[in-house]
Amino acid sequence: MSYTGPEFDPPQPERPARPGRPRRAPVIVLGALAAGGLLGWLAYAAVGASGDGPDPEASRTVAAPATGTRTPSSAPHSPAARSSASPSSPSPSGSHAAGDDGKDPGAPAASGPLRGKVVVIDPGHNPGNSRHTAEINRQVDIGTDSKECDTTGTSTNGGYAEAAFTLDVAHRLRTLLEQQGATVKLTHDDGLPPWGPCVDERARIGNEAHADAAVSIHADGSAPGNRGFHVILPAAVHAGGADTRPIAAASRRLGASIAGNFLRVTGEPPSNYLGGGTGMVTRRDLGGLNLSTVPKVFIECGNMRDGTDATRLTSGSWRQRAAEGISEGIVAFLRAS
């Protein structure tokens, strides 16, 4: 997702340190990651606002994960266990074809520690958006403002589209969550619908599913040299049809759990251009968050326009790790809820 698109106003540059006063070090440290999700949440609540972007409620946090589904390890995953192949189409019934894109044909149905939990995955943008410019440029109400229905998203310099990336990670994430027994719904999948959905409809899908957690997957389109991931949290918005006050605290806990686990599993650093090194940004200009009535966050997995990040984002083995990091964050959040 580019910050010049309809879901974002251009972020303000971070404030330089005062003369003679050292800049504070980032609060995410690897040593804190073993302390658990509750510690991460308490640290998040205590640190206060960061002032990123136009939102005065932007916050700092220690993004420490709760216990996930695997034994923590800093060692990279073996590329031989992953694949860069494109995902095959799932059947409408939710069954998975055998393949090496992270799907598991033997994924259990409604059994496991997350049995009874519902997760909505929102793959950012849609590969068909570029063919439906009139439809995606239509204005929709997001509570605090009106924005375009959707955008085409960004891409790497080599042409790998954000919409392809988000759908691939969403497929891998769905499989991992289903293996834990969760019921998983995608906002769109493999050309259906052929464009969108609009940002208000993406929120509505999670609301109508009564999701226990919802995650929108993205990759950024910032300047080269800007790299790293960040998780976007909903501000406590109350305007028009938007009221995130009931879900803001739970969304922060979900975001802290995902950020900590994503860092641990992927090795991708927190953003060096937003969030003050915390990997966490709070915003009030996202329709997908403003209109949500269930705990929801966005994750920008990296910057597609940076060469180092692009190498990771275009790797199937790294996308599998990205899905694992997000999954473990969701699982930890749900099991603690």
So which residues are the catalytic ones?
300
Q: Residue 57 and residue 102: Cα distance in Å, rounded?
A: 37
* Joined tokens for residue 314: 């275009």
Q: How far is CA 158 from each of CA 83, 255, 314, rounded to the nearest angstrom?
A: 19, 30, 10
C-alpha separations of 97 from 37, 127, 175, 182, 184 in Å: 34, 21, 11, 19, 16
How many angstroms separate the CA atoms of 24 and 27, rounded? Answer: 8
The answer to whether residues 212 and 337 touch, using CB atoms and an 8 Å cutoff, is: yes
CA distances from 103 to 69, 82, 99, 172, 302 (A): 17, 11, 6, 6, 23
Phi and psi dihedrals of 80, rounded to 5? -65, -20
